[in-house]
Chains A and B, each alone.
Chain A
Amino acid sequence: MSTDMRRDFADRDELIAYLRSEFPAALAEGAAVSATRGGRSAAEERLGRLDPARYAASRNFLNGAVTRLSAYLRHGVLSLAELRSAALRAVDDPAAAAKLINELGWRDYWQRVYAAIGEGIWRDREPLKTGVPAKSYAAELPEDLATATTGLACIDAFSRELVETGYLHNHARMWLAAYTIHWRHVAWQAGARWFLSHLLDGDPASNNLSWQWVASSFSHKPYIFNRANLERYSAGVYCRDCPLRTACPFDADYEELEQQLFPRAPRPAEPPRRRR
């Protein structure tokens, strides 16, 4: 039987120092601490700033009015039902909260799939629709991706943000996952393990099943993006000073990218999905 761990700390620095000595192995993944604090009081503070209508209009933009409540939801500090109630209270017309509630539905959906398939979340739900043979996906994350040294300003910024803050905007997660799987031919499981290690909201259900959605083992086709899409939703902040701005691998229209990334894929009749 182990002894009780400490509960009395003068401040956050003292807590951090204690945890450093208690969990030295975890420091191997980086010593960063997030500015996001744990606990119900911190969650309620964020809950008080909820703006469902602005959320609906701006959630796909990196600077949009997203809630950043995911880590609290992930750890049950706050329930989906509580957040839904707060969203409905914050609006006059329930329709203004519909987009946010729909996104909460995604979490509920992934949780239910997880309850049904358990460890199956680590295996392809369906065959990939990329036409790329399964064995040509690397089992490990490439070094330059993990160390944010690919040279691509956007990708390196997302990689750093993941490791330093434990949070990424949904769109950044989609771009980073698509780059990892489709441009670098890395198995989605390697990317999923990377995210789980670092995301404060790291959740096997939402994470693995989203990676599968990008990969196309849990969707009708692979998710890809292009430079115009990334530039629009990031307000161009990465492309502006990117060392590879004239050699950008994302700078093409969707049809060209599809030809290039998935030359052997069965051609779908509909245009590729841009975003959800």
Chain B
Amino acid sequence: MSLSKQPVVWVHADCLSPTNPALMKYPGAPALFVWDDELLTEWRISFKRIVFIYECILELPVVIRRGDVVSELLAFAAEQRADSIVTNPSPSPRFKAISSRIAAKLPLQVVPVAPFVRPSAPLDLGRFSRYWRSVEADAMRPPDEA
């Protein structure tokens, strides 16, 4: 994947490690976390969850804002004269929707996170037992081979 020249990093709530791969790939790049007001309301996120997440964010080198995620990201990128946005993946449909709205305006690079297992063939996800049979050996491998 090509390197962005002057990106901003979008840190979202699925990837709040200080060593998240997007931050690691672009150390020093301006980074933003956006509280998604619509999501907080829709999911009735309780106060204790907000406190927990806020404490996680405070350990990261990010600017914190709130509102509509796409508008906030694009505004932040414009302020920083960025040529692209870099983030980490998430399985959520909301992430996909936000990503495609961003990608319509600015290149978006999604830096993968180290996976738990690396299946060599498509997995049968019908039941856990079938999934586990395919990945167990890989899941148990010693850390120095990780």
Complex: chain B residue closest to A108, CB-CB: B116
Separation of A148 and B108 alpha carbons in the complex (Å) = 46
Q: Which of A19, A81, A101, A113 contacts B47 (CB 8 A)?
A: A19
Q: Which of A28, A33, A204 contacts B48 (CB 8 A)?
A: A33
From B49, B113, B114, B135, name the one whose CB has the most chain A CB atoms within 10 angstroms.
Answer: B49
Of the listed stretches A59-67, A69-77, A225-233, A264-272, chain B binds A69-77
**Range of interface residues on chain B?**
35 or more
Q: Which of A25, A105, A112 contacts B40 (CB 8 A)?
A: A25
| Residue numbers in A under 8 Å from B47 (CB-CB) | 19-20, 23, 26-27, 29-33
- Interface positions, chain B 60-82, Cβ under 8 Å from A, are 63-67, 71-72, 75
Residues of A contacting B: mostly: helix
| Residue numbers in B under 8 Å from A2 (CB-CB) | 65-67, 72
Separation of A198 and B50 alpha carbons in the complex (Å) = 10
Whether A16 contacts B20 by the Cβ 8 Å rule is no
Closest chain-B Cβ to A173's Cβ sits at a distance in Å of 16
Whether B52 contacts A34 by the Cβ 8 Å rule is yes
Whether B128 contacts A77 by the Cβ 8 Å rule is no
Interface residues of B (CB under 8 A from A): 13-18, 20, 35, 40-41, 43-59, 63-67, 71-72, 75, 88, 91-93, 96, 113-117, 123, 125, 128, 131-132, 135-136, 139-140, 142-143, 146
| 12 residue pairs bridging A and B, Cβ less than 8 Å apart | A5-B35, A6-B64, A15-B55, A84-B139, A98-B140, A101-B139, A102-B132, A109-B132, A111-B91, A112-B131, A197-B46, A198-B46
A-B residue pairs, 8 tightest by C-beta: A38-B55, A85-B143, A29-B46, A115-B91, A76-B15, A38-B56, A5-B64, A118-B93
